[in-house]
Structure 1
Amino acid sequence: MAQRTLYFIAIFLACFSARLAYAQQITDPREVSALLAVRSHLTDPWKNLGNWDKKKDPCTSNWKGVICYPNSSDGYMHIQELRLMHTNLSGILAPELGRLVHMKRLNFMWNNISGSIPKEIGNIPALELLLLSGNQLSGPLPDELGHLPNLNIFQLDRNQFSGSIPKSFVNLLKVQHFHMNNNSLSGQLPPELSALPLLQHFLLDNNKLAGHLPPEYSQMPNLTIFQLNNNSFEGSVIPDSYGNMSKLIKLSLRNCNLRGKVPDLSGIRSLLYLDLSKNQLTGNIPVNRLSNNITTINLSKNQLNGSIPSNFSGLPRLQKLRLNNNLLSGSVPSTIWKDKTFTSDSKLEINFQDNLLSDISGVLEVPPNVTLKLHGNPVCENANQRNIGLLCGSDYEDEDTATIVNKQELNCPSSCPTYYEHIPGLQANCICANPFGVGLRLRSPSMSDFPLYRDQFSEYITGNIKLYPYQLFIDSLAWEEGPRLRMFLKFFPKNDSNEFNKSEIQRIADVFTTFTLPGNDKFGPYELLNFTANGPYFIYFNVQFPSLKGKGMSKGALAGIVLGSIFCASMVFLGVVLLFLKKNQQLPPNAVKDKSPGKVTIIMDGVKAFSFKELQAATSRFSIAIQVGEGGYGKVFKGTLADGTVVAIKRAQQGSLQGDKEFYTEIEILSRLHHRNLVSLVGYCDEDDEQMLVYEFMPNGSLHDLLSARDRSPLSFATRLHIALGSARGILYLHTEADPPIIHRDIKSNNILLDSKWTAKVSDFGISRLAPVSDVKGATEAHISTNVKGTPGYLDPEYFLTHKLTEKSDVYSLGVVFLELLTGMQPISHGRNLVREVNMACQSGTMFSIIDESMGPYPLECIKKFMQLAIRCSQDETKGRPSMLEVVRELENISSVLPECDNTALELHLNTVTSECSASAPSSSVYSTYISNNLPGSNLDSDVLPTIKPR
Structure 2
Amino acid sequence: MNNNSITGQIPLEYSSLSDVLHFLMDNNKLTGYLPRELSQMPSLKILQLDNNNFAGTEIPSSYGNIPNLVKLSLRNCNLEGPVPDLSKSPLLYYLDISSNKLTGEIPKNRFSGNITTINLHNNMLNGSIPSNFSGLPRLQRLSLQNNNLSGEIPVIWEKRNFSAEAKLILDLRHNLFSNVSSVLNPPSNVTVKLYGNPVCARGNERNIADLCGVSTVEVESPGSSSENSTTGECKRQSCPISENYDYVIGSPVPCFCAAPLGIGLRLRSPSFSDFRPYTVSYMLDVASNLGINMYQLSIDSFSWHSGPRLAINMKLFPEYSDLNSKFNTTELHRIVDFFATFSLVTDDSLGPYEIMYFSLLGPYRDVTLSFPSSNSGMSKGAKVGIALGAIAFFIALSSVSLVLIIKRRKQKRKFQKVDMEQREANPKPPMNMESVKGYNLAELESATSSFSDLSQIGRGGYGKVYRGHLAGGLIVAVKRAEQGSLQGQKEFYTEIELLSRLHHRNLVSLLGYCDQKGEQMLVYEFMPNGSLQDALSARLREPLSLALRLRIALGSARGILYLHTEADPPIIHRDIKPSNILLDKKMNPKVADFGISKLIALDDVGVQRDHVTTLVKGTPGYVDPEYYLSHRLTEKSDVYSLGIVFLEILTGMRPISHGRNIVREVKEACEAGMMLSVIDGSMGEYSESEWEECVKRFMELAIRCCRDDPEERPRMLEIVRELENLYGMLPKPYSSPSVQSSASGMSGFAASASASSYNTFSHLSSNQLVSGVIPSIAPR
Normalised-by-shorter TM-score class: 0.3 to 0.5
Report the TM-score, using the length of structure 1 for normalisation: 0.38
